[in-house]
Amino acid sequence: MNPFRRSPFVLTAAVLVYIFLYAPIIGLVLYSFNASRANVTFEGFIPKYSDRIVMEGSLVKSSPCGPFHWYCELAKNNDVAEAAGNTLTIAFIATIISTIIGTMAALALQRYNFKMKPFSQLSLYIPIVIPEIVMGIGILTLFSQFFGWVNETFNLVGNARLSLGMATVTASHIAFMVPFVALVVQARLQGFDKSYEEAAMDLGANEWITFRRVTFPIILPGIMSGALLAFTLSLDDFVITFFTNGPGSTTLPIYVYGLLRRIITPQVNALSTVWILVVFVAVLLLQILQNRESKDHS
């Protein structure tokens, strides 16, 4: 049986599921051109270009950016820029740290035996089974109690006071990202053929060089997938960030949630569309790179 032959049932089902996945996205993008500021129903595209914004009630009649009015509004929005910057910074730093310590932990758990092992393994499973809200509230309580104690004992005032902010959010993100990295790398290590390492050692390499030249390149795809997964989780996180952020550390999900709760203008849709485009382009570039790489290798 040709495993590449696709039955019509599978094909139809696949198409339907893709439509299901993308219907809201298409709706989002379409509504980002909505002439109605209230964004409840679609009132058509903004037809005219003009020098200033002309509104009739909540309908935008004409605007300097024409149909792209909400994108221009988005570009002028400093809060969004700041939130986006924070989100990326936190995700980037947290991914790096969690990938490093997560890979280390995976190596330890897979290859060594040590007293702490069962405890380490168990603690890696906990963030996956724990509901985010429980984790968020617990971490908030912990930070608050700790900061309160430190601030009082050392009499810190003003800017020296410990308080919630970028650092606390990043630390919390690392806590829930590490298990995913560790599990993914661990899985990759399980299928690992030790004979490569043994061969290298036989040829005279010490452990560090063996790791760097043999082990590491082989598990790198696993590390990269783990890192990618962690990065995605951090970008999208709402609940935990909600409880651990402070002044100046608003992230995009928090900002969007607040915006949606009060005034739903098409600017939010414009933001989502831009976000999707950025991701799409990044992924496309990665694809091209990968194709070029496989061409080089073959």
Partner 1 sequence: MLQRLRESKSAQGTLLALPTTVWLFVLLIIPLFLTLIVSFGRRSPDGNVIYTFTFENYTRLFGYSTNCANGQPSCFDPLYVNILGRSLSLAFNTTVLVISLAYPLAYFIARAHPKQRNMYLFMVLIPLWTNFVIRVYAWMMLLRKEGAINIIIGWIAHFLHIPFTPFEMLYTPGAVLVGMVYEFLPFMILPIYTSLEKIDLSLYEAAADLGANAIKTFLRVTLPLSMPGVVAGTILVFIPVMGTFIVSDILGGRQVILVGNLIQRQFLDARDPTFGSAASLILMVMTLIVTYFYTRKFGFGEEIVVA
Partner 2 sequence: MNKNKIFKLLALLVIASMVLTACGGGTAATQPAVDGPKVTSTGFECPVPEFPMEVTSKELNIFVWTEYIPTDMQDCFELVYGIKVNRDEYSANEEMYAKLSAGGSSYDLVQPTDYIVSLMIRQNLLQEFDHSKLPAIKNFDPNYMDFAFDPGNKYTIPYQAGTDAIVYNADTVTNVPTSWADLWKPEYAGKMVFLDDSRAVIGLTLLTLGYDVNTKNPAELDEAKAKLAELVPNIKLFDSDSPKTALIAGDVDLGMTWTGEAFLAQNEKPSIQYVYPTEGAIIWQDNWAMPKEAPHADAAYAWLNYTNQGNIFWMMLRDFPFTNPNQAALDFAKTDHKDLYDAYMASPITNTPVEAIKNSHRIDDVGEALPLYDQIWTEVKGGQ
Q: Looking at the chain, how many residues does it have?
A: 298
Query: What is the Cα–Cα distance from 136 to 238, expressed in whole angstroms?
Result: 10
194 binds partner 1 (CB under 8 A): no
- The binder of partner 2 chosen from 50, 58, 123, 190 (CB under 8 A): 58
24 binds, among partner 2, partner 1, none (CB under 5 to 8 A by kind): partner 1
- Contact present, 46 and 33 (Cβ < 8 Å): yes
Query: Which one-letter DSSP state was computed for residue 205?
Result: -
Residues 235 to 254: which contact partner 1 by CB under 8 A?
Answer: 235-236, 238, 252-253
**What is the size of the binding site for partner 2 (CB under 8 A)?**
56
Query: What is the Cα–Cα distance from 232 to 87, expressed in whole angstroms?
Result: 11
54 binds partner 2 (CB under 8 A): no
Which residues, at least 6 apart from 55, have a Cβ–Cβ distance to it below 8 Å? 37, 61
Which residues, at least 6 apart from 51, have a Cβ–Cβ distance to it below 8 Å? 64
Minimum distance of partner 2 from residue 187's CB (angstroms): 19
Q: How many CB atoms lie within 10 A of CB 123?
A: 13
Minimum distance of partner 1 from residue 53's CB (angstroms): 24
Which residues of the shown chain bind partner 2 in the complex (CB under 8 A)? 38, 40-41, 57-58, 75-76, 78-79, 81-82, 84-85, 88-89, 92, 140-141, 143-145, 147-148, 151, 157-159, 161-165, 217, 220, 224, 245-248, 250, 258-264, 278, 282, 285-286, 289-290, 293, 296-297
